[in-house]
């Protein structure tokens, strides 16, 4: 009989052939003694067999990846409160970024003051440009950091 076959894939393919009655007749008399089998040699299923059954929900993780405004990625847990260390990590990153921006703004202001001082000294006949170079170098370094942040945020905008 069909249930004695060793090949499980063929057994699965022929399970509908083992009882040729209608669905209502199967529900009325579900006992195997009442079934009307069809000879398995009369039916050869096409391989691969179609996948049927219930569509299950995809396996989900207990976290999701979030991108900060600064471009950093971190894992935020689902269905529970966020751990304290993650909140502090985010806060510290924001504080460090704000310090860098404040330093950059301060350097820009200092450079503007030096420009006006240079113009004042030129009117007096003095020519001193050596004191501007360290500030200009620091401004260039802080601009590199700002460009890095802008590029990271632009990449995130392209992905969305």
Residues 130-158 pLDDT 10s: 767 777 788 778 777 777 777 766 665 54
- 98 domain-assigned: yes
- 144 domain-assigned: yes
- Left if phi > 0, otherwise alpha if psi is -120 to 50, otherwise beta: which for 31? beta
- 27 domain-assigned: no
How many separate domains does the chain show?
1
- 62 domain-assigned: no
pLDDT on residue 138: 80
Are the C-beta atoms of residues 76 and 63 closer than 8 Å to each other?
A: yes
Which span out of 13-22, 107-116, 122-131 was modeled with the highest average pLDDT? Answer: 107-116
44 has pLDDT over 80: no
Mean pLDDT of the chain: 76
Task: Provide the 8-state DSSP code for 70.
Answer: T
- 57 domain-assigned: no
Task: Answer whether 0.85 is exceeded by the pTM.
Answer: no
CA-closest candidate to residue 87, choices 74, 98, 70: 74
- 102 domain-assigned: yes
- 96 domain-assigned: yes
- 4 domain-assigned: no
Question: 110 is in which domain, residue-wise?
Answer: 83-159
Q: Is the sign of the CA dihedral 28, 34, 40, 43 positive or negative?
A: negative
């Amino acid at each position: 009989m069909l249930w004695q076959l060793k090949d499980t894939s063929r057994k699965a393919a022929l399970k509908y052939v083992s009882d040729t009655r209608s669905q209502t007749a199967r529900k009325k008399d579900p006992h195997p003694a009442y079934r009307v089998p069809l000879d398995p040699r009369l039916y050869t299923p096409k391989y691969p067999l179609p996948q049927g059954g219930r569509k299950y929900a995809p396996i989900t993780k207990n976290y999701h990846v979030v991108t900060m405004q600064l471009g950093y990625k971190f894992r935020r847990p689902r269905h529970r409160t966020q751990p304290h260390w993650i909140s502090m990590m985010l806060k510290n990153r924001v504080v460090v970024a704000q310090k860098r921006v404040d330093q950059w703004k301060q350097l820009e202001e200092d450079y503007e003051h030096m420009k006006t001082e240079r113009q004042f000294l030129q009117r007096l006949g003095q020519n001193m440009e050596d004191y501007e170079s360290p500030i200009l170098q620091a401004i260039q370094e802080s601009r590199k950091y700002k460009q890095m942040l802008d590029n990271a945020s632009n990449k995130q905008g392209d992905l969305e």
